[in-house]
């Protein structure tokens, strides 16, 4: 597929661990309104340095099309098998978490969100306890 021009609204640059000269550039384009009211919005997304073609993520509106583009990028990067890095984080931590949603309606989404919030709080408490213990041990030296 030939590369078409589109208005880029977001760019993120990634590295590949062990390949200091390699760069992968995520570009998300402005969502494109459907020609008819019953059509889907599309959002161009490209991963220069990883995939040669522009992909078009779909959604029922512009916001969902952008979310779909981000989800596509997240999956494509993960499925590449490359140790992709961003902002000095560990390979694979690319700053594109999957949204918490599900196919079973609002009640299910709220349940997933609550579970994520509870787990985030629990892990935060563990990290705080570990840091407190490290500080205590350091003072005891």
Q: What is the pLDDT of residues 59-102, one digit of tens each?
A: 999 999 999 999 999 999 999 999 999 998 999 999 998 777 77
Mean predicted lDDT score pLDDT of the chain: 91
Global pTM?
0.76
Percentage of residues in the chain with pLDDT exceeding 90? Answer: 73
Q: Which residues does residue 4 pair with via DSSP β-bridges, in sequence order?
A: none
Q: What is the pLDDT of residues 12-71, one digit of tens each?
A: 999 999 999 999 999 999 999 988 887 899 999 999 999 999 999 999 999 999 999 999
Q: Where are the beta strands (DSSP E) in the chain?
A: 8-16, 19-29, 41-48, 55-59, 84-85
What are the structural domain ranges in the chain? 1-97, 100-141
């Amino acid at each position: 597929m030939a590369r078409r021009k589109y208005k880029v609204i977001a760019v993120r640059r990634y590295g590949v661990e062990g390949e200091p000269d390699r760069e992968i550039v995520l570009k998300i384009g402005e969502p494109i309104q459907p020609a008819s009211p019953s059509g889907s919005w599309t959002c161009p997304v490209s991963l220069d340095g990883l995939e040669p073609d522009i992909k078009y993520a779909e959604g029922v509106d512009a916001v969902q099309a952008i979310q779909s583009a981000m989800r596509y990028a997240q999956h494509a990067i993960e499925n590449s098998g490359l140790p992709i890095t961003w902002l000095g984080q560990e390979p694979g931590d690319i700053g594109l978490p999957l949204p918490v949603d599900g196919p079973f309606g609002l009640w299910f989404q709220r349940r997933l969100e609550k579970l994520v919030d509870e787990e985030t709080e629990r892990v935060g408490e563990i990290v705080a306890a570990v840091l407190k213990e490290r500080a205590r041990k350091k003072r005891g030296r």
